Amino acid sequence: MITCHSEYGKIKSLLLSPAANALQSQAKIDAEWKALFYPEAVNFDGALEEYSAFQEMVGRDAELHFLPKTKASIDAIYCRDASLTTDYGVIICNMGKAARNLEPAAQLEYFKNNNIDVLGSIESPGTLEGGDMCWLDEKTLVVGHTYRSNPEGIDQLKSFLEPKGVEIIVVDLPHYKGENDVFHMMSILSPIDKDLAVIYSPLMPIGFRKTLLERGFSFVECPAEEFESKGCNVLAIAPREVVVNAGNPETKQRLEEAGCKVHVYEGWEISEKGDGGPTCLTRPIFREI
């Protein structure tokens, strides 16, 4: 079965925002990184090298789509956040981080130019970001109520999908580090098979954790010391075949103990400085389950 409604199936079609197109130059990085709350400036040449290896890792056996250069900020490298792919067409998001407000229009233009159906767009005052949405199965979508995705945006999402039989589970996430932090639903949840997910329990609401258990999920727990290095942000490129950021050896070991094949990429420039792991760097379109 080929579907957009999966986080774990084998990736068949994938949208990327290559480092060369999103970051563009060291001068652009130097002009933007502080306002985007990066801890330090990304090294452009280092990012290109890391991204090349990452793209090869995630893109094999998949049809690749590449977003072109735009006037959007360097955050555009994290292409998951500006859209949600569904079997009924793409939903274009409206960013909760104001500095990223050019990304949805750029993705909308790309989808239209490449004959990819669009179901609709989230409109102000609604905000919704792709990192806050996660498919549990073909008929169930989880969405986090965060500083990036507000109730108005979630209501618009429901209006698109609930009439089509999709169940929307809304999860209120904690304040954590505040409004300027990149804290999404997928910061604490990464499904990697139909019944297995990487989670970070300390920041997961009790009721939602119980819901996952009731739905038959087992967990790979990300250790506290690896949360900030994106240990919980794990991309499945096929069932139990995953991509993780380097510097998370305990998470890697736990994944392998759960029967997963683990690929590790160096993401100091493209992941840790911009606070975006492998799921953030990718927008899967179609998967095979």
Count of C-beta atoms within a 10 Å radius of residue 268: 16
Average pLDDT over residues 236-263: 98
Quick one: three-class SS letters along 112-152?
HHCCCCEEEECCCCCCECHHHEEEEECCEEEEEECCCCCHH
Residue 182 has pLDDT above 90, yes or no: no
Q: Measure the CA–CA gap between 50 and 68, rounded to whole angstroms.
A: 19
Residue 266 has pLDDT above 90, yes or no: yes
Q: What is the pLDDT of residue 1?
A: 95
- List phi, psi (to 5°) of 95: -70, 140
Q: What is the pLDDT of residues 47-81, one digit of tens each?
A: 999 999 999 999 988 999 999 999 999 999 999 99
What is the DSSP secondary-structure string of 55-79? HHHHHTTSEEEE----SS-GGGG-G
Average pLDDT over residues 155-174: 98
Average pLDDT over residues 11-25: 98
pLDDT grade for 230, boundaries at 50, 70 and 90: very high
Closest Cα partner for 264 from 251, 283, 273? 251
Quick one: fold of 2-288? Answer: L-arginine/glycine Amidinotransferase; Chain A (3.75.10)
Residue 181 has pLDDT above 90, yes or no: no
Tokens of 52: 């090349």
pTM of the model: 0.97
Tell me the residue length of the chain. Answer: 289
Closest Cα partner for 234 from 266, 186, 195? 186
pLDDT grade for 180, boundaries at 50, 70 and 90: confident
Average pLDDT over residues 85-96: 98
Average pLDDT over residues 247-270: 98
Q: What angle do CA 158, 87, 137 make, to 5 degrees?
A: 75
Residue extents of the structural domains in the chain: 2-288
- Burial (CB count <10 Å: 0-12, 13-18, 19+), residue 46: middle
Closest Cα partner for 220 from 1, 8, 3? 8
Return the percentage of the chain with pLDDT > 70, whole number.
100
Mean residue pLDDT of the chain comes to: 97
